[in-house]
């Protein structure tokens, strides 16, 4: 979407459940918009008319292929190159120079096949052009329309919406536990944009290697007589992250709808579905969003290293379910800093949706530490507020440690708090998606 530079605060209209495609006949972008190659690719694809779900299926495939590096050559000398690892690299030129009448056939001579360095945005733009034209060159002129018909990115684990887990990625065992070749693109149609795009256009040899204990996909494996094979689950896993980050949309009908704010039962049911699917990844999702650095902030009782869970949860809520900017700080400061960041004022009375900050033992969950506590008000009835809040962060929390455990709770608290304690709120109702 042209002009979007901060995906966390500039998502498309329509609410958290939105997933509307644009016009597939939109002109090809002539420049990229965004801060990172991932964001630039997302904006390119949505500008060309893909729905958020379809765009996430593509970016979810690009991530494990290349990490969005347009100069990447396949490890081990396999011949792949670029963001989707064209193999051999010369296939990129075949795709890029194909004429579909969108004005993208005049590839600059400076965009050389197999380059290891150059103008990042120029190479990325032309590789995105080539990616877009590939289905047309292969005789599939309705492919992007079919991608827009996908209603979810794809299951990578068993959920209430996907009781059977991911779709099959094999037909028969082969050597050394290798689960075989992929089924055809027609089989994957309707099973998620990441699977459908992979089977239709990328066609790598990934297999289903399952998930780690923390809910993330297992690493690639080296099979005797076959070589390294990636984990197919990485593709919907990454695509789901991108969908949640850039569009605010979830994959399932259970996404939190702003029309339910104030309805405690409906919200609790929906939040529990969200937490069951996403909670193992919350801290990492906030970290990767690049909006805050919560590792230096503390909340509640700091008894096990850096105990930042409440701040991470509040930040995740603001990033995903509102258009507001998050004001980072210790737990007691989050409400006032978020209010300041959005030109708002804090209040002493809770409303829904709102962030709260508290300090003083027993006030809205705080343990009495100087850093205080923070969380989200889901609904208010009389003098009782139902809140969602996190407690425990990890001792060593960061993008590389592989562990991102957090505990989240939905609880009820009464107000006002007792003498000597304090709680304040910032109403985010005008920013709810």
What mean pLDDT value characterizes the chain? 74
What's 289's domain CATH number? 3.90.1720
Q: Where does the pLDDT of residue 340 fall: very low under 50, low under 70, confident under 90, or very high at 90 and above?
A: very high
Residue-level pLDDT at 295: 30
Residue-level pLDDT at 291: 33
The reply to whether 159 falls in a domain is yes
The reply to whether 229 falls in a domain is yes
Stronger pLDDT, 180 or 129, i.e. the higher one: 129
The reply to whether 28 falls in a domain is no
The reply to whether 201 falls in a domain is yes
3-state secondary structure of 158: coil
Cα 415 from Cα 396, distance rounded (Å)? 35
Q: Does the pLDDT value for residue 264 go beyond 90?
A: no
Task: Convert 34-49 to b/e letters by CB count within 10 Å (16 or more is b).
Answer: beebbbbbbbbbbbbb
Among 187, 210, 244, identify where a domain stops: 244
What value does the mean pLDDT take over residues 175-201?
Answer: 75
Among 182, 214, 244, identify where a domain stops: 244
The reply to whether 20 falls in a domain is no
Stronger pLDDT, 348 or 1, i.e. the higher one: 348
**Do both 230 and 321 map to the same domain?**
no
Is 45:58 a contact under the CB 8 Å cutoff? yes
**Do both 351 and 393 map to the same domain?**
yes
Please write the tens of the pLDDT for every residue from 48-94.
999 999 999 999 999 999 999 999 999 777 889 999 999 999 999 99
Is 83:127 a contact under the CB 8 Å cutoff? yes
The reply to whether 254 falls in a domain is no
Cα 158 from Cα 283, distance rounded (Å)? 21
Cα 262 to the chain's mean position, in Å? Answer: 26
Domains of the chain: total = 2
Residue-level pLDDT at 274: 47
How far apart, in Å, are the Cα atoms of 403 and each of 126, 156, 222, 313, 347? 37, 19, 24, 16, 36
Residue-level pLDDT at 309: 64
Please write the tens of the pLDDT for every residue from 379-408.
788 888 878 776 544 333 333 333 333 445
**Do both 299 and 237 map to the same domain?**
no
What's phi and psi for 354, nearest 5 deg? -155, 155
The token pair at 430 is: 């005008």
Residue-level pLDDT at 155: 85
Q: Does the pLDDT value for residue 283 go beyond 50?
A: no
**Do both 389 and 286 map to the same domain?**
yes
Please write the tens of the pLDDT for every residue from 295-319.
323 333 332 333 356 777 787 678 7
Cα 66 from Cα 68, distance rounded (Å)? 5
**Do both 234 and 287 map to the same domain?**
no
**Do both 289 and 212 map to the same domain?**
no
Q: Where does the pLDDT of residue 156 fall: very low under 50, low under 70, confident under 90, or very high at 90 and above?
A: confident
Helical ranges in 234-388 per DSSP H: 234-246, 264-278, 282-289, 309-321, 334-341
Stronger pLDDT, 213 or 94, i.e. the higher one: 94
**Do both 186 and 67 map to the same domain?**
yes
The token pair at 271 is: 């939040």
Number of other residues whose CB lies within 10 A of the CB of residue 368: 14
Is 147:154 a contact under the CB 8 Å cutoff? no
Stronger pLDDT, 108 or 215, i.e. the higher one: 108
Q: Would you call the peptide bond into 340 cis, given omega within 30 degrees of 0 as the criterion?
A: no
Residue-level pLDDT at 113: 97
Q: Which of 355, 411, 417, 358 is nearest to 385 (CA)?
A: 411
The token pair at 144 is: 């992007």
Stronger pLDDT, 129 or 168, i.e. the higher one: 129
Residue-level pLDDT at 69: 95
**Do both 306 and 215 map to the same domain?**
no
**Do both 183 and 298 map to the same domain?**
no
What value does the mean pLDDT take over residues 232-239?
Answer: 91
The token pair at 424 is: 């304040």
**Do both 49 and 88 map to the same domain?**
yes
Stronger pLDDT, 124 or 13, i.e. the higher one: 124
Residue-level pLDDT at 222: 79
Domain containing 422 equals: 264-431
Stronger pLDDT, 333 or 413, i.e. the higher one: 333
Helical ranges in 282-422 per DSSP H: 282-289, 309-321, 334-341
**Bridge partners of 86?**
81
The reply to whether 7 falls in a domain is no
**Do both 219 and 307 map to the same domain?**
no
Q: Could you tell me the end-to-end alpha-carbon distance of the chain, in angstroms, rounded to an integer?
A: 18
**Bridge partners of 424?**
357
**Do both 268 and 239 map to the same domain?**
no
Q: Does the pLDDT value for residue 31 go beyond 90?
A: yes
Q: Where does the pLDDT of residue 331 fall: very low under 50, low under 70, confident under 90, or very high at 90 and above?
A: confident
**Bridge partners of 425?**
347, 356
Supply the pTM of this predicted model: 0.56
The reply to whether 186 falls in a domain is yes
């Amino acid at each position: 979407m042209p002009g979007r530079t901060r995906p966390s605060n500039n998502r498309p209209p329509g609410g958290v459940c939105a997933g509307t495609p644009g016009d597939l006949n939109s002109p090809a972008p002539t420049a990229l918009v965004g801060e990172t190659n991932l964001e630039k690719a997302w904006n390119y694809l949505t500008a060309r008319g893909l729905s958020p779900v379809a765009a996430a299926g593509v970016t979810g495939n690009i991530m494990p292929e290349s990490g969005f590096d347009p100069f990447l050559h396949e490890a081990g000398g396999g011949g792949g190159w670029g963001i989707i690892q064209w193999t051999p690299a010369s296939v990129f030129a075949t795709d890029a120079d194909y004429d579909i009448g969108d004005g993208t056939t005049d590839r600059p001579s400076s965009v050389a096949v197999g380059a290891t360095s150059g103008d990042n945005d120029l190479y990325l733009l032309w590789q995105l052009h080539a990616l877009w034209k590939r289905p047309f060159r292969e005789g599939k002129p309705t492919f992007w329309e079919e991608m827009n018909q996908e209603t979810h990115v794809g299951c990578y684990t068993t959920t209430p919406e996907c009781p059977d887990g991911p779709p099959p990625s094999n037909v028969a065992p082969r050597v050394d536990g290798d689960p075989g070749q992929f089924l055809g693109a027609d089989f994957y149609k309707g099973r998620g944009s990441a699977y459908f795009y992979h089977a239709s256009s990328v066609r790598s040899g990934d297999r289903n290697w399952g998930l780690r204990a923390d809910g993330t996909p297992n690493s690639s494996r080296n099979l005797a007589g076959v070589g390294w094979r990636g984990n197919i689950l990485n593709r919907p896993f990454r695509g789901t992250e991108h969908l949640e980050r850039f569009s605010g949309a979830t994959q399932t009908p259970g996404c939190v709808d702003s029309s339910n704010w104030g309805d405690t039962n409906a919200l609790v049911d929906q939040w529990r579905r969200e937490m069951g699917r996403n909670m193992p990844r919350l801290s990492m999702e906030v970290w990767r969003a690049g909006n805050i650095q919560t590792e230096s902030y503390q909340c509640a009782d700091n008894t096990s290293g850096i105990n930042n869970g409440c701040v991470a949860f509040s930040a995740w809520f603001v990033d995903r379910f509102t258009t507001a900017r998050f004001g980072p700080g210790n737990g007691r400061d989050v409400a006032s800093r978020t209010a300041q960041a959005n030109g708002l004022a804090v209040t002493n009375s809770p409303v829904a949706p709102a962030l709260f900050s508290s300090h003083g033992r027993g006030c809205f969950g705080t343990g009495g530490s100087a850093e205080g506590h923070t969380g989200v008000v889901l609904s208010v009835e009389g003098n009782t507020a139902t809140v969602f809040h996190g407690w425990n962060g990890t001792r060593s929390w960061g993008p590389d440690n592989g562990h991102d455990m957090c505990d989240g709770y939905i609880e009820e608290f009464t107000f006002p708090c007792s003498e000597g304690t304090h709680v304040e709120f910032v109403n985010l109702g005008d920013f709810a998606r």
